Structure 1
């Protein structure tokens, strides 16, 4: 991984703040359901409502969020999002301590945290180009993705450990405080952000449509959205059945399941650390194509696994898959940031997230239906086949003829 941005003080502050935020996000995704399960003894349907509330923001506010973000400075928005997340989570232990915690309270908190996550993620991706310059986007995204990958691996374990040691409600309190700490780190960024371009006479729908036209009118971005969205659809179905496959079909213990998933997550961390090397070695556009074509079909190995040796096969497949997907993500996020005008960055990022993140819960629902119809292994097969086909989007796009960004676009 390149080290040029190590000497960029403001990027280090953004990186530190985002790292704390990412850990808070993945810890909260563990501790809020634990509170619901242990403190409120919710039913499976109620747990499903809680999960839906955590991800509903991408479908409810995904498109207008980009317009709003393009109309304001991104750093104050990120700080405000983390303050709101922190305060919202801190209400949970207070309600638990006073004996008034309820499921509607948890649903409101989960929805509020999800909305703030949407705004924070779109804002930091739109803020990065102006902070570090477009020539450092691959390095910056690789470092930020490395933090996210580590948080994704370690966050659930940290959340479970905190809940075990201090109780689930108290673990939520610590998570809320982490968001407030991140806000303090982000506030220390010294760079003066240029004011956004404003046109008070423009309607919200007009600006949303402009962002959608930019994304879907560009054949390369259209291919990236198709590939990423299809991959998330397959991933949602795969993840919905993954634990059942490991515990029932492969007969793994809870500890062994944790080891298998951790090995898969470690592949993602390694991918983030080496994504910049791949972009420099083979070219940024070519990295998108190669990583999609070589990593996403690897999931076809998973449903071949049988009890005993199968755990090794699954762990290896998930590690290779995680490695390639993270390399792909760093390359495609950097690519789309580089070719997008600053005034459209928020709308571009939000439009893409609306599609690709909106398909994730659809895939999870489809995985459950397929599991009932085809069985768990059959559902895993279906998800793996769809994943294997994702790279066709970029293979049959103009990206296959590019090595790097066209010089006129990069300029």
Structure 2
């Protein structure tokens, strides 16, 4: 239930922003949202752990539930003038789904962006699944160190999101996305070396490499996400935004689930080293798809132009 509602909710959020913010300001607006997300993802786990220690797990979960109600109230207070769509005699879900698929995968720039992003979700989910097992079982990292490695990615994402608008304006949104995507295979190759080559024989070096790799990945995520979202929002007509975002969100989450299962299965059959090598190759494929497309010259119209 949570998965279904999150897909609907995030697709609606991504479609609402262009109706509140002028399109030339979307890059800055998306970057600010990413900054908030990164801060929440960094502080949230630590706060959750502290609450569990102070007031027990059930009460901490109750506070989490309450936070979603606060979220709903805040969103409900947003005032936006919605254009009333033309009413159909018979609304057809299949037609709406087909419209979203047709626009997303038929657009010269959005299609390769979508396929590259799908590959990213596939590889990222597989990589995190394999990494969790290797870090906690093979390397026997203490829980606090494992949590810190993941948390550094959130801090780095905050820095990347802060730089995203400036990079998008200077180099172009498409090139910024491609450059950020290029950082992922480098980071995951380093993670593979840290977990399977350095391993327990050089624990200090392994831990340092892991911190650096997840920091690189976090900066890349912060740099690219606002630019990707802004490109999608500016390239899509208002009446298709909801369907396009739903198409992307559904496909991405489906492939993330496939990646998590596939990563675990591949690790079981071939070992962690091979699994991380495959993850790195899939990240490279995501870069290749983006490079060999109109995305490399994609620009966003800036405020005042």
Same fold by TM-score greater than 0.5: yes
Change in Cα spacing, 1:224 to 1:312, as seen in structure 2 (3 Å) is same
Describe the superposition over 1:342-368 as per-residue Cα deviations: whole angstroms up to 9, x where unpaired: 011000000111111110010000111
Residue aligning to 1:159:
48
Change in Cα spacing, 1:289 to 1:202, as seen in structure 2 (3 Å) is same
Alignment partner of 1:199 is 2:88? yes
Alignment partner of 1:365 is 2:254? no
Change in Cα spacing, 1:362 to 1:242, as seen in structure 2 (3 Å) is same
Alignment partner of 1:328 is 2:217? no
Aligned-partner Cα distance in 2 for 1:190–1:353: 25
Aligned-partner Cα distance in 2 for 1:193–1:137: 18
Shift of 1:405: 4.2
Taking CA–CA contacts closer than 8 Å with sequence separation of 6 or more, which of the two structures ends up with the larger relative contact order? Answer: 2
Which residue, out of 174, 196, 221, partners 2:110? 221
Describe the superposition over 1:177-203 as per-residue Cα deviations: whole angstroms up to 9, x where unpaired: 111112222233233333334323342
Aligned-partner Cα distance in 1 for 2:226–2:216: 16
Describe the superposition over 1:258-305 as per-residue Cα deviations: whole angstroms up to 9, x where unpaired: 221111221111111111111111112221222222344321111111
Q: Secondary structure at the match of 2:48?
A: helix
Residue aligning to 2:17:
128
Residue aligning to 1:253:
142
Shift of 1:406: 7.9
Which residue, out of 249, 266, 290, partners 1:353? 249
Alignment partner of 1:210 is 2:133? no
Which residue, out of 322, 339, 342, partners 2:238? 342
Aligned-partner Cα distance in 1 for 2:145–2:265: 27
Shift of 1:337: 0.4
| Equivalent residue pairs, number | 296
Shift of 1:131: 0.5
Describe the superposition over 1:306-338 as per-residue Cα deviations: whole angstroms up to 9, x where unpaired: 222111111101111121123222111110100
Residue aligning to 1:170:
59
Change in Cα spacing, 1:191 to 1:209, as seen in structure 2 (3 Å) is closer
Q: Secondary structure at the match of 2:177?
A: helix
Residue aligning to 1:78:
none
Aligned-partner Cα distance in 2 for 1:291–1:140: 19
Moved more, 326-335 or 159-168: 159-168
Aligned-partner Cα distance in 2 for 1:309–1:397: 38
- 8 Å CA contact 1:297, 1:388 repeated in 2: no
- Unaligned ranges ≥5, structure 2: none
Change in Cα spacing, 1:405 to 1:184, as seen in structure 2 (3 Å) is closer
Q: Secondary structure at the match of 2:183?
A: helix
Moved more, 202-211 or 186-195: 186-195
- 8 Å CA contact 1:153, 1:265 repeated in 2: yes
Aligned-partner Cα distance in 2 for 1:378–1:285: 31
Change in Cα spacing, 1:367 to 1:264, as seen in structure 2 (3 Å) is same
Residue aligning to 1:404:
299
- 8 Å CA contact 2:7, 2:250 repeated in 1: no
What is the TM-score of this pair, normalised by structure 2?
0.91
Structural mapping, 1:55-70, within 5 Å: none
Alignment partner of 1:381 is 2:270? no
Change in Cα spacing, 1:212 to 1:403, as seen in structure 2 (3 Å) is closer
- 8 Å CA contact 1:300, 1:385 repeated in 2: no
Shift of 1:251: 3.2
- 8 Å CA contact 1:297, 1:385 repeated in 2: no
Aligned-partner Cα distance in 1 for 2:100–2:274: 38
- 8 Å CA contact 2:129, 2:260 repeated in 1: yes
Change in Cα spacing, 1:301 to 1:290, as seen in structure 2 (3 Å) is same
Which residue, out of 77, 80, 88, partners 1:188? 77
Q: Secondary structure at the match of 2:204?
A: coil
Change in Cα spacing, 1:200 to 1:276, as seen in structure 2 (3 Å) is farther
Aligned-partner Cα distance in 2 for 1:236–1:301: 17
Aligned-partner Cα distance in 1 for 2:100–2:148: 42
Aligned-partner Cα distance in 2 for 1:406–1:399: 15
